[in-house]
Structure 1
Amino acid sequence: METQPNIILVDRTSDRSRKIQVALCAQGYFVSPAESLSKAWRIMAKREFDVGLIHLQEEDSTHLPEVENLLLDSGFEWVALIDPRQAMTSALRLALGRMFHSVHQQEDLPGLACLLRHIAKRQAIASRIKQETRLNVSRRCMISHTPGMHRVFEQLRTLAGVDAPVFITGESGTGKELAARAIHELSPRAQAPFVTVNCGAIPASLIQSELFGFERGAFTDAHCRRMGKIEAASGGTLFLDEVSELPYDLQSTFLRFIESRSISRLGSHKETKADVRIVAATNRHVPTLVEEGNFRLDLFYRLNVLEIRIPPLRERKEDIRPLVELFFEQFKQYRPPGLVGFSPQAMALLQEHDWPGNIRELMNTVCRAMLMSDPPYIEAENIPIGNPSKPYRPPSLEQIREQAERNTIISALKRNRHNVAKASREMGISRVTLYRLMDKYDIQRIDDRY
């Protein structure tokens, strides 16, 4: 709508309507006048509009139900034009507040043009976000066709420009780190470091030195000065993954850093300024941890300035098919020759599963299915989910190696038209060895003469 927006103007006074048309046409708007509600209905049946303008005054109080029906059926935003010098009934005053986002004085034409520009810009942004189904991040992408995730994409774009702490919640495997990277890459800090600290993976005895760094001689094995993660992220973003696992006795020290924006390395009394943006994430319910005395309430308030919740995959099953197609293409190095996709039965099984491990589990399942399936399609029996008698077990290294060896042999045979002598020379093995491997992997022999 940013270019050549269409406007319908409903006004029974022709002189006033003509004056508004001239002013708006000079600003590049296309205005279609209608002197009555019935005429407006007929025009709207033939054309599409972006915004509606309707002039209301005291005598329109008896036609408010018809006005409301017009607004509800139109599907676009309306602005009410009024004359503040005229008296207004209480019914009309209530209707203006209930039915319209914007009410404008009829004489303020420059202000009206400005209001319409804002409406046009807002609708264009909303339309663009609605159409966008993916968000590219660090050579990867977040993809979705659901309104819930579209709202997440919109939040990420909006919060990226606000230099304040962001708190990301969501179950394990939903993509919290990818969301944190998106915030960083869309922010003015994008060219500075993005440093990740997994608070649950670092022993409690080491996490303070990991975050704040240390001086030489600060402890037994401190043979040289070392910069901490906070200092390494200076100018950029510090991502605290699983922040709920941060040891309680360290939380007060970290809170002091947030408030002062300065740190002291272990073994030093010198304060060092650290300009970092903090993005924290957790898969736990922090308010419960606060009630249990395992997380400081004041630290939670400091981290939870802006919050984003990533919905689990079971709440957006419409995304399973596009995610499967994305992983199938993204990890094509795992595909044996001739594997073209998932059978309808296999795709149905994937879409019915609840995915407690979320996107991470789905990605691993797709990769495993590609490794362990025969062309041309991945079948339902190759996907060990939704079957209690066949629980999911990740493939062993030996299974992966054997599947890769089998795929290599099949590819070599196809390139050499199943000529065993040529295929064995290409792979650098003897014909006897190749025949043995073909028997081992149940690869059909085709007579070289044919």
Structure 2
Amino acid sequence: MDALSAHGYHVTRCQDPVTADQLKPTTIIRAGLLYVENEDPDALSAVERLIAASDFEWVALIDPQRSTHPSVRYALGQLFHSVHSPDDIPGLHCLLLHIVRRHATAAIAMNRSSFQVAGKKIVSRAPCMRRVIEQIQVVAGVNAPVFITGESGTGKELAARAIHELSPRADAPFITVNCGAIPPNLIQSELFGYEKGAFTDANNRRMGKIEAASGGTLFLDEVSELPYDLQANFLRFIESGSISRLGSHRETHTDVRIIAASNRDVPLLVEEGRFRQDLFYRLNVLEIRMPPLRERKQDIEPLVELFFERFKHYRPPGLVGISPQAMRLLHEHDWPGNIRELMNTVCRAMLMSDTPFIEVADLPIDNPNRPRRPATLEEIRQQAERTTIVNALKRSRHNVARASRELGVSRVTLYRLMDKYDIQRLDDRP
């Protein structure tokens, strides 16, 4: 270890895989070294879990001339980037330098995934968000309905605006309708408009949101809250491209692209009979899933920097940044409110801080050591499924055909699951 430190590496030593696993949330690691001191096949499961959950390469340190247990030898070949002699420090330095440079190349590629939307910046280092940005750029040029899913605060409206601004309709209106914020008895007139005298207090003719968006994009936020009896009328508009104002028998043709979004499980609402299946199919032609912040925690630091710049008018004189302890607390938080919660937290901390750096006491976050909410059955199932796929890919050296045979699924299904769980394909690695 001293020899590696002399080459400029920052080395953290751990006694066992469990201790090493605890470092990951708070420490930036570029490579892992595992010294094979005793060959206990029973310890392989802990090693496999550690490597499968890591986003960096591991090197096994063992004497190449030493005979090994068959199961240990198999694990060395399947799980590790390479096997190296602990005595060959120059060779190990060359190998680690190669791994670190590859990570640096990946970091540069991740930092390029950003662009401006409506005066705001979409920025990300997470592979799952890079895929979202790529999807946005692709679907923007296709004149078809888009359905955006994701929890509250993940940026669904910003994604919808990005699709509009990158599309040929960018110079036309972008009209937003929050279906959950309009009373059910008013939403029909809000969408379709009305003629004078159509109902009490209708003193003048009014254009609806659909007509106002003609030539541009209509964004239906929280479309799952659309009243069931109105869904048939909206489906007819999508199919015909025409609307009738309340109190009028004359149809008006509109050229509108529909982007819908919801933070609810709409397929479940369809099964329960609370959302029309035919309308869901018409809205869900192209789908984009916005990942929650807890799945992209590597974005917390660049987002904090972005908010520091955006809200610099809130920044008191002398405040220059955030302390490492406070940044660690931000990484440990679960962020149920996602990016919106992070933005409000940083903004409040900037207002409350009276020191050069935002400290832990300035953050309105509960004690991170408190018990977290129990995981749902769906979250447990998804985590187990992702871990199983990652382990199978590790064992097969990312040979999808072999992994799919081991898992008992087709290659197409495995590729779909890899995309779903943001598991990087071998040919996508920098």
| Structure 2 counterpart of 1:287 | 267
> For the Cα contact (< 8 Å) 2:318–2:356, is it kept in 1?
yes
CA distance in 1, matches of 2:177, 2:239: 20
Query: Compared with structure 1, are the counterparts of its residues 130 and 327 closer, same or farther at alpha carbon in structure 2 (3 Å cutoff)?
Result: closer
Corresponding position: 1:272 with 2:252: yes
| Residue 163 (str. 1) matches residue 143 (str. 2) | yes
> Which of residues 109, 117, 123 is equivalent to 1:143?
123
Hey, what does 1:341 align to over in structure 2? 321
Measure, in 2, the Cα distance between the counterparts of 1:130 and 1:355.
Answer: 22
Query: 1:331 corresponds to which residue?
Result: 311
**What aligned pairs does 1:49-448 form with structure 2 within 5 A after superposition?**
132-387=112-367
Which residue is 2:425 aligned to?
none
Answer whether contact 1:215 1:268 (CA < 8 A) is retained: yes
Counterpart-to-counterpart distance in 2, 1:142 and 1:338: 28
Q: Is the 8 A contact 2:222 2:262 kept in 1?
A: yes
State the Cα deviation string for residues 297-328 of structure 1 (Å, max 9, x = none): 00000000000000000000000000001001
TM-score (norm 2): 0.60
Query: For residues 395-418 of structure 1, what are the alpha-carbon distances to aligned partners after superposition, in whole Å with 9 as ceiling and x for unaligned?
Result: xxxxxxxxxxxxxxxxxxxxxxxx
Q: Is the 8 A contact 2:333 2:368 kept in 1?
A: no
Q: Counterpart amino acid of 1:197?
A: V
Deviation at 1:129, TM superposition (A): 7.2
- One-letter code of the match for 2:130? H
Q: Point out the structure with max Rg over C-alpha.
A: 1
Q: Is the 8 A contact 2:322 2:357 kept in 1?
A: yes
Give the 3 Å change call, closer, same or farther, for CA 321–237 of structure 1 in structure 2. Answer: same
- Secondary structure of 2:288's match? strand
Residues 337 and 375, structure 1, Cα contact 8 Å, conserved in 2: no
Three-state SS of the structure 2 residue aligned to 1:195 is: strand
Three-state SS of the structure 2 residue aligned to 1:311 is coil
Q: Structure 1 residues 353 and 338, CA, compared in 2 at 3 Å: closer, same or farther?
A: same
Tell me the equivalent position of 1:35: none
Residue by residue over 1:245-295, the C-alpha shift from the partner in whole angstroms, topping out at 9 and shown as x without a partner, is 000000000000000000000000000001000000000000100111110
Aligned counterparts of 1:221 and 1:378: Cα–Cα separation in 2:
53
CA contact (8 A) 2:152 2:338 kept: yes
Distance 1:128 1:159 in 2: 25
- Contact 2:149/2:288 (<8 A) preserved: yes
Paired with 1:388 and 1:186, the residues of 2 have a C-alpha distance of 40
Q: 1:127 to 1:257 in 2, by over 3 A?
A: farther
Q: Displacement of 1:354 after TM fit?
A: 1.0
The residue that corresponds to 2:78 in the other structure is none
Q: CA separation in 2, counterparts of 1:265 and 1:388?
A: 53
Q: How many aligned residue pairs are there?
A: 266
- In 2: Cα distance, 1:388 partner to 1:223 partner: 56
1:238 alignment partner, SS class: strand
Contact 1:129 1:154 in 2 (8 A): no
Q: Secondary structure at the match of 1:231?
A: helix
Q: Is the 8 A contact 2:195 2:247 kept in 1?
A: yes
After TM superposition, the runs of 4+ consecutive aligned structure 1 residues lying more than 4 A away are 126-131
Secondary structure (helix, strand or coil) at the match of 2:128 reads helix
Partner SS state of residue 164, structure 1: coil
1:201-243 Cα deviation digits (max 9, x unpaired): 0000000000000000000010000000000000000000000
How much does 1:192 deviate? 0.0
- 1:388, 1:348 → 2: CA distance? 10
Aligned partner of residue 258 in structure 1, secondary structure: helix
Where do 5+ consecutive residues of structure 2 fail to align? 1-80, 82-105, 371-430
* Residue equivalent to 1:49: none
Partner amino acid, structure 2, of 1:184: H
What is the identity, as a one-letter code, of the residue corresponding to 1:242? E
Supply the RMSD in Å over aligned alpha carbons.
Answer: 2.0
* 8 A Cα contact 1:176 1:281, kept in partner: yes
Q: Which amino acid aligns with 1:326?
A: L
The structural deviation recorded for 1:351 is 1.0
Contact 2:329-2:368 within 8 A present in 1 as well = no
Paired residues of 1:193 and 1:236 also in contact (CA < 8 A): yes
- Assess if the C-alpha contact under 8 Å between 2:154 and 2:338 holds in 1: yes
Percent identity between matched residues is 76
**Which runs of structure 2 are paired with 1:11-22 in the superposition (5 Å)?**
none
Distance 1:165 1:253 in 2: 17
CA contact (8 A) 1:251 1:299 kept: yes
Q: TM-score, normalised by structure 1?
A: 0.58
Q: Which runs of 5+ in 1 are unaligned?
A: 1-72, 74-125, 391-450
